[in-house]
Amino acid sequence: MTLSWGQLRNIFFKYGIYAAFLILVVVLALTSPSFLTLQNILNVLRQSSIIGIIAIGMTFVIIKGGIDLSVGSILGFSAVVATSFAHPGEYPVIAPIIMGLLVGVACGLVNGFVIAKWNIAPFIVTLGMLTAARGMTLVYTDGKPIINLSDAYNFIGSGHFLGLPIPVIVFILVILVGVFLLNFTKFGRHVFAVGGNEKAARLSGVNIFAVKLAAYAIAGLTSGMAGILLSSRVMTGSPILGQGYELDAIAAVVIGGTSLTGGRGSMIGTVIGVLIISIMNNGLDLLNVSSYYQQIIKGAIIVLAVLLDRKSNN
Amino acid sequence: MGDHSFLLQIKNVSKSFSGVTVLNGVSLDIAPGEVHGLMGENGAGKSTLMKIVCGIEQPDEGEIVFKGKPVRFAKPADALNSGISIIHQELNSILDMTVAENLFIGREILRKFGIVNKAEMNRRTRELFRMIDVEIDPNRRLSTMSVAEKQLVEIVKALSYDADVIIMDEPTSAITDQEVLKLFEIIGKIKKQGKSIIYISHKMEEIYTICDRITVLRDGQFIATEPVNRLDKARLISLMVGRELKDLYVKEKAPVGEVFLEVKNFTAKGKFTDVSFHVRKGEVLGIAGLMGAGRTELAEAIFGAAPVDGGELRVKGRTVQIRKPVDAIRLGIGFVTEDRKLLGLDLKSTVKKNMSIVSLRKFLYGKQIINFRRERNAVDGYIVKLNIKTRSRDTLVSLLSGGNQQKVVLAKWLLSEPDILILDEPTRGIDVGAKAEIYKMISGLAKEGKAIIMISSEMPELFGMSDRIIVLHEGKLTGEFQREEFDQEKIMMCATGHVQGGISSRNQAGGNQT
């Protein structure tokens, strides 16, 4: 290393998480020869895509000043409803896709409506949905995985298009739409405004109710997408799909520099956050670090990232 | 080391933040039993200097000598325990706690096993408040209190530390004239005990009423310390702004036209009752009244930010329903709120985004996509027009001085091109230079043909800017005065509910207080 510690620290504080990301990539590239192979990069991207898609939706909710704990359960519910329409020879493949997305949006709308209409803390409402949606998933499947899915459906999660895995393509599209909505539209501005100062936003004519409803609906929609992709990838509508994903998604958003108190954050930051998590998992796998240790490291990274973000913002 | 005739000496203190010099070799001596005015425009370095004195910030250079000994306060508690106490402009009270809990925070009175002795704390709280002749319920939560009441709690808290030096940063920015008099009385008592007060204020009248000496800072530099009687107002202002400031209140003649807004029999239970008034195109209507008279509540109700129980609104002769702020905005009403940090700005956002939020629909391709070029042009136009001092449009608004933040709030509403503009305490807590600019702007807006409603607790401002003043007392209209009838005493009589004055018969039924 030619950089001194002081220089390194300055770079860290100036570019925050972006510098950390680059350093992580460089270190892994130097220590593990298989890290920078095309195969491994695609592997990392595909592993990132499911959490990544959810994290994009989550970013809207957190910038708005909320939180959505129910994304993992919504993913599961969407997955089982979608797969139940995906048996061979029953419906065209568009049917399970539409059903999965509808379930996701519907759950998100319920979250948003209850939060915005009755002004109940998002933590509580989505915690309720976390439990309820998982319950509905179990009721819907009677606790048994849905198997025997059509090839067309299974292709969504495992197929390639232009050499890229389809989940990765979907992830990239979702990122593009997310960046566009957040940074280039009135809606995006309103999301920031509500998260930054809800009272001031209301007095400025922002429709708080609509913004909240839309933010949770988007989170529901992305969870639905993730549900379809994941169930198709594992070729099963398992009722336990997506368990615990909410924490990974929130971690990615927070690592990416979005403030948990709302009003500040970025979509690109979230993408970096997602990549950091999966590159780390991947790198530690390649370096043969036990998955038990990986959890400890991941936990520490989340807290460090927030600390780093605060330093670089001051 | 120090000169013993001074209680507190600040010697050549310098401080910079990330390369920007905020204080440059500033010195200040405080004699025992003196009220020392500290003046300067926003950004002059007053607050930073005081933060250094009470241990919130550390000086880069220089020293502080307190009671003859050099001191260095590493944290606020050190200063507090040595006898230096500060009442911040932005109150630091904890809203979910009671008066007594706030007063004794960090030094709770305890029974055995560390259990808080509530009864004793409540008793002591009552006792402390009696020192300033105020009866208070120690169990009241601060969230239920007005700004003025919260400020009283802070003052009593400072007194309770038995401090030798009390720093008051704009203590009267939110309290009524009567409460100001009471504060001055308290200051007089403190002074007699040989204790000193450093008094920061933008209000000339106050400075001249209670201060013994005045120190002026400008751009982080020490400018002068003079006894009050050797420093006339004009010179004080020129010392502060570094130039001659002509007439503060610019009131241009504006042709008064049709009625733009008419409020009829407006009532909201517990806030205001049967209030009727109107404002015309080109007119500045002042609303006077004491704290708690219902002025802000009335403005919020007109703007749709708070519900009304009865009454009618007409905009340009047409009866309208305003249920939420967006309705008011569509009808061409703008509302510059009293509390810019709580209600006016998104402090996590930039100057540009704060300014354009109300008028975003004007900068769109279609319904959603932002036209950044048009937004930038509009925002930059107002940054120049209102002389907003900011590094760029993308600077965080929280980094601006109070006066410039207020200009951002004004710009945000001006961008929406309202016909009717409600200004609630538009110059609260901002320096005299920025004030003059805002007055000039108000005058210019009236001339452009806007109808302006200006709520203010500062009489000189109301008198200087208004064409007409209405007075509220406990939610009722008690007086109305044309410009040629303005009379401080009469307006105060109406504001305190002792008399109804200068008013047409329509409101006489409202109620007789005396």
What gap in Å lies between CA B38 and CA B86, rounded to an integer? 14
Q: Are residues A192 and B347, on separate chains, in Cβ contact within 8 Å?
A: no
What is the average pLDDT value for chain B, to the nearest integer? 87
Q: Do residues A57 and A220 lie in contact, with contact meaning Cβ atoms separated by under 8 Å? A: yes
DSSP B15-71: EEETTEEEEEEEEEEE-TT-EEEEE--TTSSHHHHHHHHTTSS--SEEEEEETTEEE
Query: How far are the Cα atoms of A20, A255, B234, B278 from residue A308, in angstroms, in the given order?
Result: 9, 9, 50, 55
What gap in Å lies between CA B359 and CA B22, rounded to an integer? 35
Is A229 contained in some domain? yes
Name the E strands within B296-449: 310-315, 318-320, 333-336, 364-365, 369-370, 420-424
Q: Which of B368, B373, B409 to mutate to test the interface with A (most CBs of A within 10 A)?
A: B368
* Percentage of chain B exceeding pLDDT 70: 94
Distance of CA B52 to the CA centre of its chain: 23
Whether this model's ipTM surpasses 0.85 comes out as: yes
What gap in Å lies between CA B491 and CA A137, rounded to an integer? 69
Distance of CA A50 to the CA centre of its chain: 7
Query: How far are the Cα atoms of B166, B170, B409 from residue B160, in angstroms, in the given order?
Result: 11, 19, 37
Q: What's residue B491's pLDDT? A: 85
Sketch out chain B's domains with CATH numbers: 8-241 (3.40.50.300), 254-332+418-514 (3.40.50.300), 340-417 (no CATH)
Q: What's residue A313's pLDDT? A: 58
Of A138-142, A260-264, A300-304, give the lowest mean pLDDT range. A300-304
Residue-range definition of the domain harbouring residue A221: 34-313
Quick one: tokens of A148?
């025997």
Among A185, A197, A207, beta carbon nearest to B347 = A197
Q: Are residues B325 and A186, on separate chains, in Cβ contact within 8 Å?
A: no
B413 close contact with A: CB closer than 8 A: no
Q: Do residues A102 and A112 lie in contact, with contact meaning Cβ atoms separated by under 8 Å? A: no
What gap in Å lies between CA B105 and CA B93, rounded to an integer? 10
Report whether pLDDT(B20) > 80.
no
- Residue with tokens 């279609």, as numbered in its chain: B366
A294-300 contacts, C-beta under 8 A, 24 or more apart: A298/A251
Q: Do residues A130 and A70 lie in contact, with contact meaning Cβ atoms separated by under 8 Å? A: yes
Is A66 contained in some domain? yes
Give the SS3 label for residue B322: coil
Q: How many helices (H) and strands (E) does chain A have?
A: 13, 2
Q: Are residues B370 and A186, on separate chains, in Cβ contact within 8 Å?
A: yes
Is A72 contained in some domain? yes
Q: Are residues A205 and B326, on separate chains, in Cβ contact within 8 Å?
A: yes
Report the chain B residue with the minimal C-alpha distance to residue A200: B343
Is A14 contained in some domain? no
B337 close contact with A: CB closer than 8 A: yes
Q: What's residue B2's pLDDT? A: 44
Of A4-18, A105-119, A132-146, A261-275, give the lowest mean pLDDT range. A4-18
Q: Are residues B364 and A197, on separate chains, in Cβ contact within 8 Å?
A: no
Residues of A in CB contact (< 8 Å) with B are 184-187, 189, 192-193, 195-197, 199-207, 259, 263-264
Q: What's residue A311's pLDDT? A: 65
Q: What's residue A12's pLDDT? A: 63
Q: Which residues in chain B are closer than 8 Å to A191, comparing Cβ atoms?
A: none
Is A236 contained in some domain? yes
Helix ranges (H only) for B115-257 are 118-130, 147-160, 177-192, 204-210, 233-241
Q: Do residues A111 and A125 lie in contact, with contact meaning Cβ atoms separated by under 8 Å? A: yes
Q: Which residues in chain B are closer than 8 Å to A264, comparing Cβ atoms?
A: 348
Is A8 contained in some domain? no
User: How do residues A58-102 score in pLDDT, each as one tens digit?
Assistant: 999 999 999 999 999 999 999 999 999 999 999 999 999 999 999
- Residue with tokens 């007005």, as numbered in its chain: B146
Q: Do residues B397 and B351 lie in contact, with contact meaning Cβ atoms separated by under 8 Å? A: yes
Report whether pLDDT(A245) > 90.
yes
Which residues have CB under 8 Å from A217's CB, separation 6+?
A: A105, A108, A109, A112
What gap in Å lies between CA A52 and CA A167, rounded to an integer? 10
For the CA atoms of B410, B416, B422, B425, what is the dihedral angle to 10 degrees? -10
Query: How far are the Cα atoms of A126, A273, B55, B200, B395 from residue B87, in angstroms, in the given order?
Result: 41, 42, 13, 10, 29
Q: Are residues A205 and B349, on separate chains, in Cβ contact within 8 Å?
A: no
- Domains: count for chain A: 1
Average pLDDT in the B58-72 region? Answer: 91
Q: Which residues in chain A are closer than 8 Å to B303, comparing Cβ atoms?
A: 203
Q: Do residues B183 and B172 lie in contact, with contact meaning Cβ atoms separated by under 8 Å? A: yes
Q: Do residues B476 and B510 lie in contact, with contact meaning Cβ atoms separated by under 8 Å? A: yes
Is A112 contained in some domain? yes
Q: Are residues B358 and A263, on separate chains, in Cβ contact within 8 Å?
A: no
Q: What's residue B237's pLDDT? A: 78
Q: Which of A10, A179, A203, A312 to mutate to test the interface with B (most CBs of B within 10 A)?
A: A203
Confidence band (pLDDT; 50, 70, 90) for A14? low
What gap in Å lies between CA A81 and CA A224, rounded to an integer? 10
Of B78-87, B247-256, B315-324, give the lowest mean pLDDT range. B247-256
Domain CATH code at residue A287: 1.10.3470
Nearest Cα of chain B lies from the Cα of A266 at a distance, in angstroms, of 13
User: How do residues B416-455 score in pLDDT, each as one tens digit?
Assistant: 999 999 999 998 878 778 888 899 999 999 999 999 999 9
Give the SS3 label for residue A120: coil
Which residues have CB under 8 Å from A148's CB, separation 6+?
A: A87, A88
Is A11 contained in some domain? no
Q: Are residues A199 and B329, on separate chains, in Cβ contact within 8 Å?
A: no
What is the average pLDDT value for chain A, to the nearest integer? 92
